[in-house]
Amino acid sequence: MVKLDQFAVQTTSSLQELVDTKIIEQSNRISAVTEVFKDALMLSNKTYFLEQVTKHKLEKKAVKKELNITIEKYKLMESNYKQV
């Protein structure tokens, strides 16, 4: 009888751990789907979408400007090196 009780306790705790693990996995999946849905909903909002496009265009313009400055600095350093 004691062995049966120990077996029942072990089995119950193992099952409880399995259930807890599955609940955590499902919660993580639900969170991931919720985030994707939220992002899709925001992008479906035309105003938000246009704001994001404008933001990325401005970032692109800033990067191009920085690249041109870096190129000019490189050319200046190269010309100074040749003079030496």
Q: Where are the domains of the chain?
A: 1-44, 46-84
Mean pLDDT of the chain: 85
Who wins on pLDDT, 5 or 2? 5
Residue range 9-37: average pLDDT?
86
Question: Above 70 in pLDDT, residue 77?
Answer: yes
Q: Residue 13 is encoded by which pair of tokens? A: 């705790």
Residues 51-65 have pLDDT tens digits of 888 999 999 999 999
Q: Which residues contact 52 (CB under 8 A, 6 or more apart)?
A: 43
